[in-house]
């Protein structure tokens, strides 16, 4: 058993918050009981001193129960990231499932959904089974999407039924947009029958001269063509139209332009099937960061303008954008040291996401802490049908404990990679514990 005392619980699923004692069963991985307190140092609000949890608190002291006094720190559901790259199989010099899971735990994530652009790609039951079986050994919940098309070549659909039966959380060819409209339509139909979301990378390669750099001030700085906003806008417009026609769950990945945010906003008024995710870098940085940091701030889709950054924030604020997903994309130091046009796109994000959400969204008044926790736990879990993102007796004992005001400096990473433009920055939000299945998997 693990008893968390004097924590300030925030649960966006039930929209409740306040001081609680939470008893976790480390054998079943479930929350045993939750007891309300008047204050972090006061007596429990329950008038009965003979309540079950009170007796257990006394009796279990002799049963090797670990008791942790949180002294008013926030207790939230373990975070859920539905867009990460652990590079396994095929690119494990960048990251592997074990190190990726450790980075996730350090960042407060207890559930992650892996993208499928590995080598081989996750287009067969055999590869999916390899990923999921390796994930089971990490201490956190590792799920995986499977590919929409074989080899991510956009020519032939995968056996989506078999992959779903094997445990695919959703379907994506993230990294490569699906250009064939009829193939996308059929994929959405199949996914709808399977009750699985399809998440799409929205950039038309025909419009892009150099990926990862916005076709604006940043591209001009490097003397290249860059990636224009129209590359995203045109794909989002097309894919929303098809998803609406098919009544299929569609998630727009790492949205970056104000026009795409508005397209999602309008579509949500017509259907409950349209979703969108925002990466922390897109609500934090602009293309100025690429000029300042070079390839360390190069990603697909690229960092855009200030008005785009603010549109992403407004989308998160008004619910147009349902969730925050890191797009954790590790690369080696050698790869990121290449010239900006040759270096791969992507940055790591698992270990800084919560802090960026606190700093950029909560402290600046755009979201409440409960809303931030919702975008980072309950909302993504709900789309991907994961038993996660909420705190309830009998529910999963997956929790995050953190001090929202305490500061830390971004320096060392648990990830194999360190490709982040945030290195050296001071940020709020120090994670004390990440707990998965009732067991502490990270201690700060």
Region class of 332: left (phi > 0), else alpha (psi between -120 and 50), else beta = beta
CB 36 within 8 A of CB 48: no
Over residues 254-279, the mean pLDDT reads 98
Q: What distance in Å separates the CA atoms of residue 340 and residue 258, rounded to the nearest whole number?
A: 25
Average pLDDT over residues 55-80: 80
For 113-132, what is the mean pLDDT? 98
Question: What was the pLDDT predicted at 213?
Answer: 98
Check if the beta carbon of residue 232 is closer than 8 Å to that of residue 214.
Answer: no
Question: What is the pLDDT averaged over residues 82-103?
Answer: 98
Question: Peptide bond before 89: cis, by omega within 30 degrees of 0?
Answer: yes
Distance between CA 108 and CA 351 in Å, rounded? 8
CA proximity to 168, closest of 202, 188, 136, 198: 198
Q: What is the pLDDT of residue 43?
A: 47
DSSP letters for 31-64: EEEEEEBSSSSS-BS-S-TT-HHHHHHHHGGGTT
Rounded Cα–Cα distance for residues 121 and 173 (Å): 9
For 242, residues 6+ apart whose C-beta sits below 8 A from its C-beta are 181, 184, 185, 188
- State the average pLDDT over residues 263-276: 97
> Per-residue pLDDT for 207 more than 50?
yes
pLDDT at position 37 is 81
Residues 6+ apart with CB under 8 A from 50: none
**Structural contact between residues 228 and 282, judged by C-beta atoms closer than 8 angstroms:** no
Instruction: Report pLDDT for 41.
Output: 53
pLDDT at 57 over 80: no
Terminal Cα-to-Cα distance of the chain (whole angstroms): 20
Question: Comparing 44-58, 108-122, 278-292, which segment has the lowest mean pLDDT?
Answer: 44-58
Q: Which of 11, 66, 28, 64 is nearest to 381 (CA)?
A: 11
Residues 162-191 have a mean pLDDT of 97
User: Of 281 and 63, which is predicted with more confidence?
Assistant: 281
Percent of the chain having pLDDT more than 90?
Answer: 93
What does the pLDDT read at residue 45?
45
What is the spatial distance between Cα 295 and Cα 342, in angstroms, rounded to a whole number? Answer: 9
Rounded Cα gap, residues 345 and 299, in angstroms: 4
What's the pLDDT score for residue 58? Answer: 47
The values of phi and psi at residue 181, to 5°, are -65, -45
Cα distances from 386 to residues 82, 141, 302, 377, in angstroms, run 10, 10, 30, 10
**Is 62 a residue whose pLDDT tops 90?**
no
Find where tokens 């004692």 sit: 21
CA 309, 284, 112, 153 dihedral sign is: positive
pLDDT tens-place string over residues 235-264? 999 999 999 999 999 999 999 999 999 999
As given in the structure block, the two tokens for residue 343 are: 């270096």
Going 374 to 380 to 381 to 383, the CA torsion angle's sign is positive
Cis ω before 385 (30° cut-off from 0) = no
State the pLDDT at residue 61: 47
Contact 348, 419 (CB under 8 A): yes
The answer to whether residue 3 scores a pLDDT higher than 50 is yes
**pLDDT of residue 52 exceeding 70:** no
Q: What is the reported pLDDT for 44?
A: 46
Rounded to an integer, the average pLDDT of 24-32 is: 97
Q: What amino acid positions are annotated as catalytic residues?
A: 327
* 3-state DSSP assignment of residue 222: helix
Q: Name the nearest CA neighbour of 231 among 249, 214, 253, 248.
A: 214
Q: Which residues contact residue 403 at a Cβ distance below 8 angstroms, ignoring those fewer than 6 apart?
A: 73, 74, 429, 430, 432
Predicted confidence band at 56 (pLDDT cuts at 50, 70, 90)? Answer: low
* 64: confidence class by pLDDT, cuts 50, 70, 90: confident
Model confidence at 54, pLDDT cuts 50, 70, 90, reads low
For all residues of the chain together, what is the average pLDDT?
95
Place of tokens 């982040």: 420
Is 30 in contact with 394 (CB distance < 8 Å)?
A: yes
């Amino acid at each position: 058993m693990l008893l968390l005392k004097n924590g300030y619980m925030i649960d966006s699923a039930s929209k409740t918050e306040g001081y609680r004692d939470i008893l976790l069963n480390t054998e079943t991985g479930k929350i045993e009981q939750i007891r309300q307190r008047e204050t972090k140092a006061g007596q429990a609000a329950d008038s009965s001193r003979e309540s079950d949890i009170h007796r257990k608190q006394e009796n279990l002291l002799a049963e090797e129960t670990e008791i942790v006094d949180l002294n008013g720190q926030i207790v939230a559901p373990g975070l859920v990231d539905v867009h990460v790259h652990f590079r396994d199989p095929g690119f494990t010099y960048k990251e592997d499932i074990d190190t990726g899971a450790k980075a996730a735990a350090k960042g407060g994530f207890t559930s992650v959904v892996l993208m499928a652009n590995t080598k081989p790609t996750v287009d067969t039951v055999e590869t999916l089974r390899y990923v999921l079986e390796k994930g089971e050994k990490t201490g956190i919940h590792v799920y995986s999407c499977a590919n929409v098309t074989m080899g991510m070549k956009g020519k032939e659909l995968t056996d989506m039924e078999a992959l779903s039966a094997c445990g695919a959380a959703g379907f994506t060819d993230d990294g490569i947009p699906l250009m064939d409209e009829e193939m996308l339509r059929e994929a959405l139909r199949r996914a709808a029958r399977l009750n699985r979301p399809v998440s799409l990378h929205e950039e038309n390669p025909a419009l892009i001269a150099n990926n990862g750099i916005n076709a604006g001030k940043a591209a001009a700085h490097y003397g290249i063509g860059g990636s224009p906003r129209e590359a995203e806008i045109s794909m989002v417009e097309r894919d929303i139209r098809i998803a609406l026609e098919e009544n299929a769950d569609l998630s727009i990945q790492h949205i970056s332009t104000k026009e795409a945010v508005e397209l999602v906003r309008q579509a949500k008024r017509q259907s409950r099937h349209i979703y969108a995710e925002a990466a922390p870098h897109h609500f934090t940085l602009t293309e100025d960061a690429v000029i300042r940091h070079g390839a360390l701030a190069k990603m697909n889709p690229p960092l855009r303008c200030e008005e785009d950054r603010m549109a992403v924030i407004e989308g998160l604020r008004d619910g147009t954008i349902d969730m925050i997903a890191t797009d954790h994309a590790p690369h080696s130091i050698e790869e990121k040291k290449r010239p900006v046009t040759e270096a791969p796109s992507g940055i790591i994000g698992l270990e800084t996401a919560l802090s960026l959400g606190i700093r950029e969204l909560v402290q600046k008044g755009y979201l409440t802490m409960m809303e931030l926790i919702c975008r980072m736990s309950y909302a993504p879990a709900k789309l991907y049908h994961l038993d996660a993102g909420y705190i309830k007796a009998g529910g999963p004992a997956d929790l995050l404990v953190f001090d929202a005001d305490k500061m830390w400096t971004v320096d060392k990473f648990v990830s194999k990679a360190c490709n982040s433009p945030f290195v050296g920055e001071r940020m709020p939000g120090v994670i004390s514990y990440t707990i998965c299945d009732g067991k502490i998997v990270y201690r700060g």
